[in-house]
Structure 1
């Protein structure tokens, strides 16, 4: 089959990570795969090398100074729509809201259901759910949201996890030493400072944790996004100053350095308010790092008894403290769980779905 996978960015966000890994696994299974995306800010390639078996079509998308989020989203859709020609592809598979709006008929992966407030984004979100003729979700909890909210039946195909990459990082003594020499003992969060990631709650929880773990540091990595979270960041910085906390905000971390950053952490914090699967937390489990996550139905489904769960900052602090005190109690189970999610298996299930739709 000739398959087009469409994404919205070259940056290291969860949906983009998913798109590239799925494309490579499909190509390894013998399919003809092209990934289409927007090259923001002059990007001419993805954040990491891509298997040469996967074709890449990166559509230039120059920055516009002062452009608001709504117009930027609409321009993203128009730019990708103008460049993409579905002719010649057997399957067109959109991986996000922007790419689903840019094509007429497609398969759509809904990683999680967003809740927007601006009219343009609400309309785009609705179209990206209602108009695709087939839907995939990476967890049953998100598929249930589609069923309850829109009456849509979605196929559930979980993410894969590159577990070996993170398992090997846990054995990279020089790499671990570099991060620990720089940061000491730390709680790590990946995803940047934004409302969906629950970063303000994590800040409150960390301030409580530090009373019993005064040498611990809070480290936040990642943060590439289309949205403007400057107001939230201002609130975060102000509250950190009030609490006397000095987080280490790394921003995007190079692809090759991320596994050792994760593996060197004392505990991985995942306080997201909205998730579809929790890939970053699953990678932490693969590295042998204990995970504390928000108590959401989707994360209970995916992580079972391997992660520790909490809701409010005090409970989160208590679970972080427990993870620091007993880091090895769930380590083997966490690594086994992560190893059970295979991109090859995910690709095989996509192939079955595609052939069924074509038939």
Structure 2
């Protein structure tokens, strides 16, 4: 089976991480897999090494100074669509709104539903839900949103998790201990959020929560990692900076972290904060559970579905602060539940479910 998986970027965003891990698992199963992506900003490769069994087709995409987000998305669709030829594949599977619009007839994974106000982007979002001939969601909650909004019934195939990669970073091996020690020597004890500073990640709520924690835990630092995104969050970042200054907080903003360094960064944190206001699954938090770290998540139905009682929940800055402080106390039963959950979700199982789905939904010629 010749499969094309399409994603919009080579940067370390959740959908891209999903695409690469799924592609490698499909290749291990014997499928012929090609990943297509736009190579933005001069990128010549993905943010991490990819199994050579997966073919890569990266489409050059120049940055254009002064281009609006709408203009950039429309150009992304045009450039990817012009480069891609579906005739070479038995399955064409788009992983996001841009690639779904670029190629038209496809299977689409809807990781989460976005909200746009610009008419052109609203139309793109609508087409990316309606036009695909078959749909997959990574959680029942998102599938329910699609059913409620459009009367469509996607299949549900959960994400996998590279459990061993993050569990190894939390192990007692000399290399793992040394890597964690380097982070602690640089950052001290810290609360970690992965995903950058943006509205969907609840970054300002976390800032407000951290301000409430200082009296009880002055030794803690607040660390943000990640942040590669297509969208323009300058206004949100400016508000974040204003609140930071008003609260007198100096969070550590690491920006994108090398893929090889991410597991030890996660494994070395005191608590992993996941105050997202919208998610499709929560892969970063699942990786933290694999590393044995306590996770405090936003009180959302989708996160309750995915994580159950393996994490604690909060719904505002005050409760988030209390939960983050409480989570520093060891809870062996919760740690064991989290480890078991993350171990149970494998990319090989996700690949088998996708192959079954592909067999039932062949590409309409």
- TM-score normalised to the size of structure 2? 0.97
State which of 318, 322, 338 in structure 1 corresponds to 2:322: 318
1:48 matched to 2:48? The reply is yes
In the TM superposition, residue 332 of structure 1 has moved relative to its aligned partner by 1.2
2:303 to 275, 279, 299: 299
Distance 1:356 1:305 in 2: 34
Which contiguous aligned blocks of 4+ residues in structure 1 show a shift greater than 2 angstroms? 325-329
Correspondence for 1:152: 152
- The answer on 1:335 being equivalent to 2:339 is yes
SS of the residue aligned with 2:109? strand
- Alpha-carbon offset, residue 119 of structure 1: 1.2
SS of aligned partner of 1:256: coil
Aligned residue pair count: 359
> How large is the RMSD of aligned CA atoms in angstroms?
0.8
2:348 pairs with 1:344: yes
* Aligned mates of 2:330, 2:53 — CA distance in 1: 44
Say if 1:289 and 1:327, in contact at 8 Å, map to a contact too: no
Query: 2:120 — aligned with what?
Result: 120
Q: Which runs of no fewer than 5 residues in structure 1 stay unpaired?
A: none
Do residues 18 (structure 1) and 18 (structure 2) align? yes
Deviation at 1:358, TM superposition (A): 2.3
CA distance in 2, matches of 1:119, 1:290: 41
Residue 87 of structure 1 aligns to a residue whose secondary structure is: helix
Separation in structure 2 between the aligned mates of residue 329 and residue 185 of structure 1, nearest angstrom? 23
Residue 127 to residue 63, structure 1, CA distance change in 2 (3 Å): same
The 8 Å contact of residues 112 and 275 in structure 1, kept in 2 or not, is answered as: yes
Aligned to 2:198: 194
Partner in structure 1 of residue 178 of structure 2: 174
Partner residue, 2:248: 244
**Which whole-Å CA distance do the structure 2 matches of 1:211 and 1:334 have between them?**
29
TM-score where L is the length of structure 1? 0.99
CA–CA separation in structure 2 for the residues paired with 1:104 and 1:268: 38
1:100-111 paired onto structure 2 within 5 Å? 100-111=100-111
Q: Please say if 1:185 is aligned against 2:192.
A: no
Q: Look up the match of 2:277.
A: 273
C-alpha separation in 2, matches of 1:299 and 1:82: 38
Q: Where does structure 2 lack aligned partners over 5 or more consecutive residues?
A: none
Distance 1:327 1:242 in 2: 34
What secondary structure does 2:57 align onto?
strand
Paired with 2:51 and 2:185, the residues of 1 have a C-alpha distance of 34
Residue in 2 aligned with 1:253? 257
Match in the other structure for 1:284: 288
